[in-house]
Amino acid sequence: MSGGKTDTGNEYLFELATFLAISARGCVDEPPSYGPFRLIDGLSRLIDLPKYAACLSEDKFLEDIKNEVDEKKYLVMSDMEGFRRFLDELVRRFAVELKKRSSK
C-alpha cells in the first residue's frame, strides 16, 4: 500500500474498506477524473492484499500491473489522453491474461 504496514489481513482489509468508503463520498464532489484515479489507486492497494493475508499468494501478473499503475497513475493530473491510453493498455493486458487463465 502507499502507506504504513499493517500486521494482519483483517487490518489491511479494514484499511481498504475505509479507503473505498471515503473515496466514494469524495467522488460525489470531487472532479470527475478523481473517480478513475481512486479506482486505479484502489487496484494498486488491493494487489498488496497477499502481503498481509496469509491465505492469499502473490500473483506475478498482478504485481507487474501494480508496478505499472504506481508508475503511471499520476498521468491523470497532467496528461488525460496519456492516462486514457494507459488504462486502455491495462485493460487489454487483463483481457489477454483472462483468456490465458481461462484456457488452462
Contacting positions for another protein (CB under 8 A): 2-4, 15, 18-19, 22-23, 25-26, 30, 34, 38, 41, 74, 77-79
Q: Over the range 72-83, which residues count as b (16 or more CB within 10 Å of their CB) and which as e?
A: bbebbeeeeeeb
CB of 45 to another protein, least distance (A): 10
Least Å from the CB of residue 57 to another protein: 26
Min dist. Cβ of residue 51 to another protein (A): 15
Q: Please count the CA atoms within 13 angstroms of the CA of 66 that sit on its side-chain side.
A: 17
Residue 2 vs 92, nearer CB to another protein = 2
The residue (of 77 and 96) whose beta carbon lies closer to another protein is: 77
71 vs 96 by CB, closer to another protein: 71
Helices (H), 3-104: 9-29, 34-47, 49-52, 60-72, 75-78, 80-102
C-alpha span between 88 and 96 (Å, rounded): 12
> Least CB distance from residue 38 to another protein, whole Å?
6
